[in-house]
Amino acid sequence: MRKRIVITGIGWVTPLGHEIEGVWRRLLGAESGIAATTLFDARKFPTTFSAEVKDYDFERVIGASYPKHRHAGQNTRLALGAAQAAWRGAGLDAAHLDPYMVGTYTGAGDGGLDFENFTTTALKAMPEGATTVDATIWGRVALQRFNAMCEIEQEPSMTISHLSMEFNARGPSMNCLTACAASTQAIGEATEIIRRGDADVMISGGAHSMIHPFGVTGFNRLTALSTLNENPRQACRPFDATRGGFVLGEGAGIVILESLEHALARGARDKILAEIVGYGSSCDAFAVTDQHPEGRGAVVAIREALKDAGMTPGDIDYINAHGTGTKENDSTETLAVKAVFGEHAKKVPMSSIKSMMGHLIAAAGAVELITCVLAMRDSMIPPTANYQHPDPECDLDYVPNVARPCKIDVAMSNSFGFGGQNDTVIVKRFEG
- Domain residues for the domain of 179 are 5-113+154-428
In single-letter form, the type of residue at position 338 comes to K
Going by pLDDT thresholds of 50, 70 and 90, the confidence category of residue 71 is: confident
Condensed to tens digits (0 to 9), the pLDDT of residues 381-405 reads 999 999 999 999 999 999 999 999 9
CA distances from 31 to 26, 28, 369 (A): 5, 8, 19
Whole-number pLDDT of residue 46: 96
For the chain, how many residues are written? 432
- Pairwise CA distance, residues 416 & 386, whole Å: 22
Please name which of 352, 355, 46, 358 lies closest in space to residue 222, comparing C-alpha atoms: 46
> Among this protein's residues, is 18 annotated catalytic?
no
For 254, residues 6+ apart whose C-beta sits below 8 A from its C-beta are 9, 10, 11, 12, 79, 82, 83, 85, 86, 106, 203, 204, 205, 366
Catalytic residue flag (residue 322):
yes
Within this chain, do residues 141 and 78 fall inside the same structural domain, yes or no?
Answer: no
Domain CATH for 248: 3.40.47.10
CA 265 to CA 321: how far, in whole Å? 35
Residues 121 and 184 in one domain: no
- Is there a single domain that holds both residue 180 and residue 88? yes
Residue 419: per-residue pLDDT: 80
Domain match, 146 and 90 both:
no
Q: Is 416 helix (H, G, I), strand (E, B) or coil?
A: strand
Domain end point (choices 100, 133, 152): 152
Query: What integer pLDDT is reported at residue 286 of this predicted model?
Result: 87
Q: Which of 180, 236, 372, 394 is catalytic?
A: 180
Mean pLDDT for the stretch of residues 184-189: 98
Q: Indicate if 180 belongs to the active site.
A: yes
- pLDDT band per the 50, 70, 90 thresholds, residue 291: confident
Q: How far apart are CA 85 and CA 397, in angstroms?
A: 33
Give the pLDDT confidence score for residue 129 in this predicted structure.
56
Residue 202: closest CA among 108, 90, 122, 116: 90
The pTM score is 0.92
Residue after which a domain boundary falls, among 101, 133, 152? 152
> Are residue 148 and residue 158 in the same domain, yes or no?
no
In sequence order, which residues have a C-beta less than 8 Å from that of residue 358 and are 6 or more positions away? 15, 33, 34, 50, 51, 236, 246, 247, 248, 249
Q: Which of 236, 322, 372, 394 is catalytic?
A: 322
The pLDDT tens digits of the residues spanning 302-348 come to 999 999 999 999 999 999 999 999 999 999 999 999 999 999 999 99
Active-site pick, 162, 208, 292, 359 = 359
Q: How far is CA 56 from CA 15, 219, 339, in A?
A: 10, 25, 42
How far apart are the C-alpha atoms of 108 and 361, rounded to whole Å? 9
208 with 245, same domain: the answer is yes
pLDDT in the model for residue 156: 67
- 210 and 132 within one domain: no
Same structural domain for residues 313 and 197? yes
Q: What is the percent of the chain where pLDDT is above 70?
A: 89
Same domain, residue pair 218 and 239: yes
Closest CA to 106 of 189, 168, 167: 189
Task: Kindly report the number of other CB atoms within 10 A of residue 278's CB atom.
Answer: 24
Domain count for the chain, please give it: 2
Same-domain status, 190 and 52: yes
The verdict on 90 and 147 lying in the same domain is no
Residue pLDDT, tens place only, 89-133: 999 999 999 999 999 999 997 655 544 454 455 555 555 555 444
pLDDT reported for residue 126? 53
- In 3D space, the residue among 178, 166, 250 whose CA is nearest the CA of residue 203 turns out to be 166
Burial class (CB within 10 angstroms; exposed 0-12, middle 13-18, buried 19+) of 120 = exposed
Which of the listed residues 152, 178, 202 is the one where a domain comes to its end? 152
Same structural domain for residues 226 and 173? yes
